[in-house]
């Protein structure tokens, strides 16, 4: 499907729309330009809750920029697909580095620097972002800047139960995300790749068939994940998936949205927005188990080699996970 150029105006391409807007807001400090990019009633879904309205986006961006004035973000990739003639979804990976310049919710600036990744997913309709799913590796930020993730989570406990059955996503899981996900119907393109990723999440991760990791990942695969960790090769991927699920042995994982994109410069890449729900009743990775419910919003991006995953970026917010567990402890 051909995308109407007005969908990413005034920029020539979707990549320019995403990267240049990001540069204007975060590198150049153009906070006041946000209402020109975001719908006035935008829904922002984050790891710790849901907010509505562009005013909140401006307010949060102003505080974050003031606290991290020297922190620089580099756009690593923009994986996008059309969602009709005048809409598209963008899965945008950003590598951040730098320090803390002012006091923030974590505490005072300690003169240290941190490296982390963000993976926002944006639904853009007629040139405006109408819904955003924001995923950050907040543990890497907090720890890298010299703060204690446990103390930060304890000071800001999060209870998601009031959001209801749909949780952070606000709607039931898509019945077939290869056809239509949370961002809307997919084009009838790259179906094979989308089905491959759905099978990975269904037949390996949800089914706990870690013996099948080699069916989906190449021998020399590389996975970058939360806490700015990197694991390599099939054995490393298998061990990391076990670590990912072991704290939540009854977890259900859902593929919520898929985007696949191919370009001459970068080749074929794909991205998955996913949800994990379960109880903290297994491996005590976050301290003594509580048996309390946990919801995780995450994004995984994939690069391929000979029909298997060569490189993955699996990002989620472990500080938000811990904040949910801390809410149960403090209840």
The CATH number of residue 178's host domain is 3.10.450.50
Q: Give the separation between CA 165 and CA 131, rounded to whole angstroms.
A: 19
123 lies in the same domain as 241 = no
188 lies in the same domain as 305 = yes
Residue finishing a domain among 155, 180, 210 = 155
Instruction: Let me know: does 140 contact 319? Beta carbons within 8 Å.
Output: no
Q: How far is CA 267 from the centre of its chain?
A: 22
Instruction: Let me know: does 213 contact 242? Beta carbons within 8 Å.
Output: no
Best CA proximity match to 184, nearest among 231, 121, 252 = 121
**Above pLDDT 90, what percent of the chain?**
95
Residue finishing a domain among 124, 155, 186 = 155
**What is the count of structural domains for the chain?**
2
pLDDT for the residue numbered 74: 95
185 lies in the same domain as 302 = yes
Residue 68's CB is within 10 A of a number of other CB atoms, namely: 22
Q: Which residues pair with 104 in a beta bridge?
A: 107
* pTM score: 0.97
Residue span of the structural domain in which 322 resides = 163-330
pLDDT for the residue numbered 165: 84
What would the pLDDT profile of 296-317 be if each residue is shown by its tens digit?
Answer: 999 999 999 999 999 999 999 9
Residue finishing a domain among 155, 187, 221 = 155
88 lies in the same domain as 186 = no
186 three-class SS? coil
The dihedral formed by the CA atoms of 47, 53, 54 and 59, expressed in degrees to the nearest 10: -60
> Pick the residue with more confidence: 239 or 165?
239
């Amino acid at each position: 499907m051909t995308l109407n150029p007005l969908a990413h105006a005034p920029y020539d391409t979707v990549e320019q729309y995403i990267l240049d807007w990001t540069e204007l807001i975060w590198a150049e400090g153009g906070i006041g330009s946000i209402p020109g990019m975001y719908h006035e009633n935008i829904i922002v879904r984050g790891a710790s809750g849901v907010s509505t309205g562009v005013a909140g986006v401006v307010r949060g961006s102003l505080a974050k920029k003031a606290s991290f004035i020297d922190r620089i973000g580099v756009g690593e990739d923009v994986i996008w697909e059309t969602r009709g003639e005048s809409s598209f979804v963008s899965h945008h990976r950003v590598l951040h580095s730098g320090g803390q310049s002012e006091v923030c919710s974590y505490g005072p600036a300690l003169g240290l620097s941190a490296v982390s990744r963000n993976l926002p997913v944006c639904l853009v309709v007629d040139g405006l972002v109408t819904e955003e799913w924001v995923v950050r590796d907040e543990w890497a930020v907090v720890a890298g800047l010299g703060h204690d993730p446990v103390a930060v989570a304890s000071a800001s406990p999060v209870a998601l139960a009031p959001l209801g059955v749909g949780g952070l996503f606000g709607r039931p899981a898509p019945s077939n995300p290869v056809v239509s996900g949370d961002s809307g119907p997919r084009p009838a393109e790259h179906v094979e790749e989308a089905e491959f990723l759905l099978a990975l999440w269904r037949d390996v991760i949800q089914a706990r068939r870690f013996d099948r990791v080699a069916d989906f990942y190449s021998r020399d695969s590389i996975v970058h994940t939360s806490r700015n960790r990197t694991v390599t090769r099939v054995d490393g991927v298998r061990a990391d998936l076990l670590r990912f699920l072991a704290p939540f042995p009854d977890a259900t994982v859902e593929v919520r949205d898929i985007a696949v994109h191919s370009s001459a410069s970068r080749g074929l890449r794909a991205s998955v927005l996913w949800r994990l729900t379960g109880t903290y009743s297994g491996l005590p990775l976050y301290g003594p188990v509580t048996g309390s419910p946990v919801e995780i919003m995450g994004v995984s991006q994939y690069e391929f080699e000979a029909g298997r995953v060569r490189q993955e970026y699996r990002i989620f917010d472990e500080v938000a996970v811990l904040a949910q567990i801390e809410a149960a402890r403090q209840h």
